[in-house]
Amino acid sequence: MAKKLIINQEKVNQETVEAVMKVCPFGGLEYTNGQLNFTAGCKNCGLCAKKGPAGLVTEVIEQDTTPKVDKSSWRGISVFIENDFDGIHPVSIELIGKAHELAKVINHPVYAILIGNKEKTDQYQKEILAYGVDKVFIYESDEFANFNMERYARCVEDFITKIKPTVVLYGGTSLGRSFAPRIAAHFRTGLTADCTMLGMKENTDLIQVRPAFGGNVMAQIVCPNHRPQMSTVRYKIFKKPERVTPFGECVYMDTSNIDKSSKIKTLEIKVKEKVTDISEADVIVACGRAFKNKEDLQMAEELASLLGGVVAVTRPLVEAGWKDAKFQIGLSGRTVAPKLIITLGISGAVQFTAGMSGSEMIVSINENPQASIFDVSHYGIIGDIYKVVPQLIKNIKHERGLE
């Protein structure tokens, strides 16, 4: 049931306008050229109808005409397996683990979608099955050797049309972010990007949680009237599952009728130079606003070196030009889950903590005892980083006989 407000223009005059304007606390009405209209400020609260001049605004209850989907005809939690000739992207394995958790709630199978040429599909199907997938749906063709958005999209569209999974999960990578919206648009369904949590209702509605309004709100999003439901999730948000004794099966899909044409032409493939990836680090020393200048990051570098780790930063330090963006932790940077992370002078904004909350051990140093970073930390030190860090370095050197 939906509520709608209707203005009776025949009752609009200077007196009724002034009266109803006083009733609305949101500035949701405007009077121009003899017409009274609602503005973007209207909250649809109905005060103008209840407390305004009689008959000026009428509250009408409308029937909900939103089309309903037959949820029982959609079954299975599916994961798109992102891969290249270096292997399966780890985020796809993490999503398989989360798919198992979601599937248990509604007693659904877990599916994987694998696209590639024979070399790739032969190589990766056993690894996928080792994580307890019920079925691996394989689209195999020489034209699928390298990722092509148009060809791969047609394969996933074919899979969804034939198998009808209730959920499809994608990695929140550059590939996933460009690829998943195309599929969602094709099926006129929803897609929630960069989810930090996923849950499942017993009626098969997927609960998708992500920060909104600059990270000030954690929004819970559901897609109750459309299927399939789709989400992208960043690497390192979920834990990698344990391997099991394979029990699933491989299903080779017919690709003969899939259009393999494409307006996208691959001119050249260049191997990207390997760089330090903080997402893979076991130990991270993260630096925040408390650092006064770029040169002071050297003490963080020394601490990280002693611990066999790397230095990462928050967004303000990247914007200041102190560190490259590939070393930024947070929603607009990288998601990390090291064995140990030491935060130095970081307040703990949602945008940052969402990117490192999966860390096994969080140690935080901050002058402010009320800093929200302590809410997610296992150990906290209240103090000036310029006093605490040098002493910490000195203690480690002493313990190792390096002084």
pLDDT tens per residue, range 50-71: 999 999 999 988 776 667 899 9
Separation CA 267–CA 298 (nearest Å)? 43
Separation CA 397–CA 403 (nearest Å)? 6
Give domain 2-62's CATH number out of 3.30.230.80, 3.40.120.10, 3.30.830.10, 3.30.70.20: 3.30.70.20
Q: Which pLDDT does position 214 carry in this prediction? A: 67
- Do 278-399 and 71-252 fall under one CATH topology? yes
Those residues of the chain that have pLDDT short of 50 are: none
Nearest to 237 by CA among 106, 116, 101, 344: 101
Q: Which pLDDT does position 64 carry in this prediction? A: 66
> For 278-399, which CATH class?
alpha beta
Residue pair 124/114 in contact by the 8 Å Cβ criterion: yes
Give me the residue label for tokens 């005059």. Answer: 13
**Which sequence spans correspond to the domains of the chain?**
2-62, 71-252, 278-399
pLDDT tens per residue, range 223-264: 999 999 999 999 999 999 999 999 999 999 999 999 999 999
> For 71-252, which CATH class?
alpha beta
